[in-house]
Amino acid sequence: MSFASHLPIPVFTLLLAIVLVLVVVYLFVQDFRATLIPALGIIVSLIGTFAFMAVAGFSVNMLTLFALTLAPALCAMILKPRKE
């Protein structure tokens, strides 16, 4: 089996994690515009991560895919608006 045959599973997991994080953030803030901030943060962090991995010469293995799966949740926790 080639690498390309295994690629849809992590991609699906990553997309599912992003969608679930955005749903949870929306349920907490109950405002669509406030949910866009974590959504943009997730996209920017993933693009930045892949760019850094390409520059640094890292390979896409199970450890990096696991880290990318956790990245949306961490991004949403950091960017979550605080009520004061």
pLDDT tens digits, one per residue of 10-27: 778 878 888 888 898 899
**List of E strands, 13-75:** none
What number of CA atoms fall less than 13 Å from residue 23's CA on the CB side?
A: 6
CA distance 27 to 17: 15
Report which listed range, 7-11, 36-40, 58-62, 69-73, is most confident. Answer: 36-40
Contact 38, 25 (CB under 8 A): yes
